[in-house]
Amino acid sequence: MTDTACSTAWQRWRYKLEIAKRAPTIFIGLALLFIFGWLIVAPIVNMMMEMFTVQTGDEMRVGAEAGQFTSYYLERVFSSRMSSIIFWKPLWNTLMVAVISMVLSMIIGSILAWLLVRTDLMGRKWLSTALIIPFMLPAWTFALAWTTLFKNATIGGQPGWVENMGYQLPDWVSYGVFPTIVIMTLNYIPFVILLVGNALRRLDSQLEEAGKMLGASRPKIALSIVFPLMRPALMSSALLIFADAIGEFSVPYVLGLPVHFETLATSLYRAIGTQQTGVAAVFAAVILVFGIATLALDAWMMREARRFAIIGSKGAMERRQSLGILQWPATILALVMVFIGVVAPLGALALSTVMHIPGRFEFSNFTLDYWIGTNLDTIAMQNGILFSSEFWAAAWSSISIVGSASICAGILGLLTGYIVLRSPLRVVSVTLRQVTFFPYLVPGIAFAVAFLTLFAVPHGPIPALYGTPIILFLALIADQMPFASRAGISAMTQLGSDVEDSARVSGAGWCRRMYSIIIPIQRNALVTAVLMPFISGIKGVSLFIILAVPATDVLTTFSIRLIDFNYTQAANAVVLMIALIALLGTIVINRLTRTGLAQGLES
């Protein structure tokens, strides 16, 4: 029996080797695993090791040689006299902001999703697009809009619109926890609308009708039928918002630092700025643990939800409820949210860029200097942004670095999808699927620190990459692989192997099949796999704020630098350009995929 089993196993391996000669999926899969192991796994592992290794410059403080094992950084963060200031207080601030913004966005977003999907709300089609515009814009767009409107004299510079009109604002309104929660709530509401709205579309209204026929009241139907079926989508939305809020950097940076309101992300940034690499690694690890634990819980809950199915008739019905006397209040609520989340922030930013003094609506106060002016009376900004060589250099760096990284990520994503679906070795396909998704579990600023700890120093033939565009290029590829790989896997799932098998029988090699069959058929999927990382990368802050230097300035870091110099109008103009690029890119994706902006995301 043993000889027979060995013979069978040997025959199976011979068959797989013969397959590999004709379709090199195994070799390509192993090559992809090596690439992603270097770009994704190695930085995370190296960062975890940095917590337990004496860093250069800390030898006297730690009392050991650089490179030796130490628990100093863990003790300093968790149990030293400074731990309450450098860790526990920022941790409390982070959890407070994350939980409150999650709860508020879930409540408001779920109500709006129900109004848009399940009622006869007036202007539903237009509102469903307008309400999710904030989802396409950088979160710090709204933070800058807040400072434009409500900035006070605490940090100097030009006052905000409200104070310039004669109203004195306290610090808690202008900066700190209150505006941070408001902005993050507004930023997450569209995300809830997308996820919960998509789940509501799939909910058969016949179930509610059956409850009515049996005499159940509306509260009873909501609690006993609708809520249990919506629970997976609601919990998934809440967990994803919480995980993202834990690692959010830009909003607390803009609104919190002026009054020393720090979160884990801003504390990590401060540690990097003061060259406390070991402490920064501990902060990044804490953020990473939160992200992994939260999203792992989300994945487990979604697996549990898929164990159950709704058994109904041939087709689900989507019957909208009449709002009756609530029609006008509901419409006004939706319009108010559009005004607060879209019109007011974008309008404030746009108007601020054409005013000498914010909030003064006099004809003589309007100007185009911040766009097309020359020889301005400022130190760091001599010309308007459209005539500024620094702006165009940053724009070129953004487009070239993010664009090239997105193209590479899109190609690698399509190859990943091909290998995951075609590889004869299940271990390769499963490992590849999990490794490429891993950056989604790691908040951006923690992943940036992981990259910094690995590539800031030379390793063998690989030189130190910090301060070069290469480190940004590689980090963006790794960070955007969850989007690119999922687009590739989704596209390849819908493409059977019959066409490729026919070409193989006709004698076409693997490269010819990819060039003549796979890529032409998956053209739209490849474009999507490139555009999604491009949009995410062009508006991202966390990676660039850690890894970029003045020589590799991009639009996001250029605007942050203008904020630090209190050049509010110029910074707002740069942010509007970033928002315009992100908005146009999102529209292009929806045109290519033939889906509306409000069709939702699959949970």
| pTM for the structure as a whole | 0.80
Contact assessment for residue 537 and residue 402, using Cβ atoms and an 8 Å cutoff: yes
Which residues lie closer than 8 Å to 565 by C-beta, 6 or more apart?
379, 380, 381
Which of the four pLDDT bands, split at 50, 70 and 90, describes residue 108? very high
Q: For residues 290 and 237, what is the distance between their CA atoms, to the nearest angstrom?
A: 16
Q: How confident is the model at residue 580 (pLDDT cuts 50, 70, 90)?
A: confident
In this prediction, residue 457 carries a pLDDT of: 79
Could you tell me the two tokens for 359? 């909030």
Burial string for 64-93 (b: 16+ CB within 10 Å, else e) reads eeeeeebebbbebbeeeeeeeebbebbbeb
Q: What pLDDT is stored for residue 594 in this prediction?
A: 55
Q: Are 188 and 101 in contact (CB under 8 A)?
A: yes
What's the pLDDT at 97? Answer: 95
Measured in residues, the chain has a length of 603
321 backbone dihedrals φ, ψ, rounded to 5°: -85, 145
Confidence of residue 339 (pLDDT cuts 50, 70, 90): very high
pLDDT at 179: 93
DSSP 3-state assignment of 160? coil
Which among 563, 580, 589 is positioned nearest to 398, based on CA atoms? 580
pLDDT at 88: 93
pLDDT of residue 510: 67
Amino acid found at 549: V
Q: Per the structure block, which two tokens stand in for 142?
A: 């709204």
pLDDT in tens, 435-494: 888 787 777 788 888 888 888 878 777 788 888 888 889 988 988 888 788 777 777 776
| Higher-pLDDT residue of 171, 228 | 171
Q: Which of 145-149, 359-363, 538-542 has the highest mean pLDDT?
A: 145-149
Q: What angle (nearest 5°) sits at the alpha carbon of residue 186, between those of residues 180 and 190?
A: 145
Q: What percent of the chain has pLDDT over 70?
A: 80
Query: Is 63's pLDDT higher than 70?
Result: yes
Residues 304, 235: Cα–Cα separation, whole Å: 12
Q: CA neighbours within 13 Å on the CB side: how many for 297?
A: 14
- Residue 236's pLDDT is 76
Kindly tell me the burial class for residue 328, based on how many C-beta atoms sit within 10 Å of its own C-beta (0-12, 13-18, 19 or more).
Answer: exposed
**Of residues 341, 386, 358, 34, the one with CA closest to residue 165:** 358
pLDDT tens string 35-57? 999 988 888 888 888 888 888 77
- Cα–chain center distance at 152: 30
Q: What's the mean pLDDT when you consider all of the chain?
A: 79
Q: What confidence tens digit (pLDDT) does each residue in 345-357 have?
A: 989 888 988 888 7
What is the per-residue pLDDT for 183?
Answer: 93
